[in-house]
Amino acid sequence: MVKRKRPLSPTEVRNQDQSVPNRLSPNVEQHQSRFGIRQSNDASERNPQEQPVDTTAVPPLVEVLPSITRKITACAACRKNKIRCEMPEDGPPCVRCRRRSLSCVLNRSLQSLVEDVKNVELVQSDLRNLHETVGIICQHLELGGLRPLVIDHGNTREGILGSGEPDREQSEGCEVSPPDSPSAVQAPIDTFLDIAKLGSPKSVASPPGRRASRATHGHDLVTKGIVSLAVAEQLLHRYFSRLDHYLYGICCERYDIQQLRTTSPVLLAAICTVSALHDPEDQKYYAVCNKEFRSLVMQSMFEKHDIEYLRALCIASFWLADASRILCSDAIRRAADIRLHRSFDYLIGARGPESCSPSSANPIAAVDRVRLWYLLFVCDQHLSILHNRDSLLRSDKDIAVGWEAYLHRPERTESEVRILSQVSLLLIMGEVRDVLGSDNETQLPPTLTHHITNYSRQLDKWFSKFSALFITNAYIGDFPRKGLELHYRFGKLYLGHQVFKGLHGKPVPMHFVSAANMAHDAAIGIYEMILNDPQLKDSLVGMPHYFHIMIAFAGHLLLEICHNHHEQLSIILHDELHLINAVLHLFRNQHCIPQHPIRRMAPGLSRKLSSCAARLGITTLSEGHQALDNAYGAPVAGRAFSNGSHHLEKEPTQFPVESMGPQMDDFLFGDIGEFTFPDLTSNFLP
């Protein structure tokens, strides 16, 4: 039975009509339209133009939102079916959804959104209090001021973006893209930038002093608490007292840690990372310093920096093999933008000081800039050899081919002689790559035989010329001479290995047998030098990564020759496999962190050695450990390799197959993923 609603009496109707205006605002009379939309009877609300709206005093969002007391406690499925939802106190799923295996979703109400906004405002208030407290602490410790909170500048940023003007705070220090041409003559981009500048009167360059302070203030490793001041000083001392001299004294002088912290935090991070790479006790510092250095480089991708930033990229390119290509490419781009090469003409008198920037108009700064360009050229050529690619820097530039004019300067130094020896050698190896190198796995034609002979003679003349110019270094001893001989053998190895392209295990053509023997003798000489020379043993942890990769390549090639060509080249397998095994034993005993190239390449070469020996049917050798020491361990300078056997009554030595220490990666770094030379894809492995 349906209950009817009782009609109102006349008295009740009058009372209800009188109560309606009391519920409305005293200044605004509203009524309901027949569509259910509330409308205003106030004239000012119907025509907003008659009364301007005051936008200066905008109430907070929480005050505008209504206060809603009713919360949604039923899930969406139960609300849809209009049934009672039995929701437990700990939240979904409800009893019905759990029993029927339904998706129980509790929709958020407007009240929950209001509570979220209130909570965000409370968190922002607490954050401002913490920011003020930390600022007071930093002032007390004289650590510099903190950056302002971003949430306090939201309205300002919105106003700037809304007016169509670029955000000056964000764009400060950013490079103009594209920059003007580094060429001395006017380029098309220069004309375009001049026209664009005239058409954009509002574009004002940011002050360089403000840009520098923004980029460097309070961003160093010590200020951020990544390493302590004592650890940073220890890392810098190791670098400047030893490692910097392997890189020809790239820093020129010993930097003070306070100077690095204020002027170039990126250079400080690069030096600390490289220094920590060479000590097993500093593995934890290497991880955090490397992470900070990469972060600074990524943040600086679109920022302008001075020559010290370029120096940091160069240092990291020589030692950090997993990022060398990326860092070197960025350094070459920046070197062109700051016209680093123009200082060469100024030094040799071909151009006046007006052609250089004001910072490089004096001879000392010009020498530093020329040295830095040569080091970038050396790094670029090294990477082109290791990755079998074209170089980024043109080798026919006046500064590259004019190295002899720079060498004959009366004020040349020992480190500059070493740099120019590398430039001269890499120009020869660059020609070898251009003439003999190829991406295709095809055999060399016989007509290139005379080219190989010619390049071999050039290498001999190069070694003879610079051997007389090298002297002992006060910090790294006789390593410059030993390194010169290693580079000479690297050149012979790189030249001779070209004849193995496209053979795939077939015999070497007779017209290339002498070149094959040259590559084989170079690889043997490299491993003998490492094993017999105390200076090179001490420098294995310290020298740039180019040495390690070429040493790994020499062992790789030597194993392939032993497997495929030992009969044709009259190779005694036991002696050469023992030599490789002895060098790998030396590598495994080096004191360095696991990320060092020596530690990363030793396990992979050990597995290749074991596999090669197994394929050749060699499991034990007649020589024992003492015989191994007598054959290859004597530090005799200039000792020639002997193919004779050494028969001593000792226990036979087995090649380590399982007990090789930790299974490290096969020296295939993230950036060295394409470390492959032509036709050397380990075809002797299964």
Q: Please tell me what DSSP assigns to residue 350.
A: S
Is residue 634 pLDDT above 70, yes or no?
Answer: no
| 428 and 539 fall within a common domain | yes
- Please report whether residue 586 resides in a domain: yes
How high is the pLDDT of residue 537? 93
Is residue 491 pLDDT above 50, yes or no?
Answer: yes
How high is the pLDDT of residue 234? 95
- Please report whether residue 516 resides in a domain: yes
- Measure the CA–CA gap between 452 and 437, rounded to whole angstroms: 12
- Please report whether residue 570 resides in a domain: yes
Give the tokens for residue 657: 């197959």
b/e burial code for range 58-80 (CB count within 10 A of at least 16 → b): eeeeeeeeeeeeeebebbbbbee
- Please report whether residue 639 resides in a domain: no
Contacts of 105 (CB under 8 A, 6+ apart): 75, 76, 77, 92
- Measure the CA–CA gap between 435 and 438, rounded to whole angstroms: 8
Where is average pLDDT lowest: 50-64, 175-189, 243-257, 590-604? 50-64
Is residue 108 pLDDT above 50, yes or no?
Answer: yes
| 612 and 550 fall within a common domain | yes
Q: How far is CA 564 from CA 73, 444, 569, 573, in A?
A: 78, 18, 10, 11
Q: Of the residues 321, 336, 351, which one is the last residue of a structural domain?
A: 336
- Please report whether residue 106 resides in a domain: no
Is residue 500 pLDDT above 80, yes or no?
Answer: yes
| 349 and 270 fall within a common domain | no
Is residue 495 pLDDT above 90, yes or no?
Answer: yes
Cβ–Cβ < 8 Å for 609, 580 = yes
| pLDDT tens digits for range 289-328 | 999 999 999 998 888 888 999 999 999 999 999 999 999 9
Higher pLDDT: 143 or 334? It is 334
Cβ–Cβ < 8 Å for 39, 30 = yes
Q: Of the residues 298, 317, 336, which one is the last residue of a structural domain?
A: 336
- Measure the CA–CA gap between 390 and 410, rounded to whole angstroms: 34
Mean of the pLDDT values across residues 43-57?
44
| 399 and 433 fall within a common domain | no
- Please report whether residue 355 resides in a domain: yes
Full domain range(s) for residue 407: 339-383+394-412
Mean of the pLDDT values across residues 555-567?
93
Is residue 573 pLDDT above 70, yes or no?
Answer: yes
How high is the pLDDT of residue 639? 35
pLDDT band at residue 334 under the 50/70/90 scheme:
very high
How high is the pLDDT of residue 632? 42
Q: Please tell me what DSSP assigns to residue 397.
A: S
pLDDT band at residue 104 under the 50/70/90 scheme:
confident
Nearest-5° Cα angle at 612, 610 to 616: 115
| 485 and 521 fall within a common domain | yes
Kindly report the backbone phi and psi dihedral angles of residue 39, in degrees, each rounded to the nearest multiple of 5, phi listed first: -125, 155
Mean of the pLDDT values across residues 438-445?
81
Hey, which residues does 620 pair with through a beta bridge?
654
Report helix, strand or coil for 62: helix
pLDDT band at residue 162 under the 50/70/90 scheme:
very low
Mean of the pLDDT values across residues 65-72?
54
Nearest-5° Cα angle at 55, 49 to 59: 130
**Class of residue 385 by CB neighbours under 10 A (exposed 0-12, middle 13-18, buried 19+):** buried
- Helices (H) and strands (E) counted in the chain, each on its own, are 30, 4
| 402 and 435 fall within a common domain | no
Cβ–Cβ < 8 Å for 455, 485 = no
How high is the pLDDT of residue 294? 95
Where is average pLDDT lowest: 177-186, 233-242, 290-299? 177-186
Is residue 72 pLDDT above 70, yes or no?
Answer: no
Give the tokens for residue 682: 């380990």
Cβ–Cβ < 8 Å for 656, 619 = no
pLDDT band at residue 534 under the 50/70/90 scheme:
very high
Is residue 137 pLDDT above 70, yes or no?
Answer: yes
Is residue 678 pLDDT above 60, yes or no?
Answer: no
| 244 and 258 fall within a common domain | yes
Is residue 32 pLDDT above 60, yes or no?
Answer: no
**Class of residue 651 by CB neighbours under 10 A (exposed 0-12, middle 13-18, buried 19+):** exposed
Domain count, the chain: 3
| pLDDT tens digits for range 390-420 | 899 876 677 888 888 888 888 888 999 999 9
- Please report whether residue 205 resides in a domain: no
SS (H, E, C) 314-339: HHHHHHCHHHHHHHHHHHHHHHHHCC
Cβ–Cβ contacts within 10 Å for residue 310, how many? 25
Give the tokens for residue 182: 């580094």
| 537 and 612 fall within a common domain | yes
| 235 and 329 fall within a common domain | yes
pLDDT band at residue 359 under the 50/70/90 scheme:
low
| 323 and 378 fall within a common domain | no
How high is the pLDDT of residue 105? 81
Higher pLDDT: 263 or 673? It is 263
Q: Of the residues 618, 648, 668, which one is the last residue of a structural domain?
A: 618
| pLDDT tens digits for range 453-472 | 999 999 999 999 999 999 99
Mean pLDDT, the chain, integer: 75
- Please report whether residue 673 resides in a domain: no
pLDDT band at residue 92 under the 50/70/90 scheme:
confident
Q: How far is CA 424 from CA 365, 378, 402, 488, 552, in A?
A: 23, 10, 10, 12, 24
Q: Please tell me what DSSP assigns to residue 568.
A: T
Higher pLDDT: 648 or 651? It is 651
Give the tokens for residue 525: 């000489």
| 379 and 472 fall within a common domain | no
Higher pLDDT: 344 or 114? It is 344
| 582 and 498 fall within a common domain | yes
SS (H, E, C) 583-651: HHHHHHCCCCCCCCHHHHHHHHHHHHHHHHHHHCCCCEECCCHHHHHHHHCCCCCCCCCCCCCCCCCCC
pLDDT band at residue 643 under the 50/70/90 scheme:
very low
